[in-house]
Structure 1
Amino acid sequence: MTESKKERIFCGKCKVELVLKKTDFQYMRFTFNHQVPVCPVCGQAYLSEELVNEKVKELEKNFEEK
């Protein structure tokens, strides 16, 4: 979600608009955090395909270097 083009994303379960929240993630023993849209009611996070692909590539590269 970019600042210039703010998309309104709603939780499919709760039907409320998601809010940006700094969230911790783990993948292949690596931990990182990123600000993502999260449902303020149930806590479900929305991860864009772009974010997932970018982070997975970055973390897999780090994993291979170790």
Structure 2
Amino acid sequence: MNQSKDEIICEKCRVHLVSTKTKLMYQGVRFDAELLKCPKCGQAFVSEELAQGKFHEIEIALEDK
């Protein structure tokens, strides 16, 4: 995606997403991540780079335990 994070809008609410510290859980382990979220409905945006990069690394690390 060639859009900057300032250009990504919530499809439902039609407002710009804001960078927000977000608590996530995977296989019972909680961790924090900085994600773009809609300030109205709270829907989070996970970029392809984040999903295939950092989240994938966390997934592998947790599954190896």
Q: Please classify the TM superposition score into its range, dividing by the shorter chain length.
A: 0.7 to 0.9
Please give the TM-score of this superposition, normalised by the length of structure 2.
0.77
Aligned residues: 62
Cα distance, 1:53 vs. partner? 1.4
Which amino acid in the other structure matches residue 27 of structure 1? Y
The sequence identity of aligned pairs, in percent, is 42
1:28 counterpart = 2:27? yes
Cα distance, 1:49 vs. partner? 0.9
Please give the TM-score of this superposition, normalised by the length of structure 1.
0.76
Q: After the TM superposition, which parts of structure 1 deviate over 6 Å for at least 4 consecutive aligned residues?
A: none
Structure 2: unaligned runs, 5 residues or longer: none
Structure 1: unaligned runs, 5 residues or longer: none
Aligned-partner Cα distance in 1 for 2:17–2:63: 35
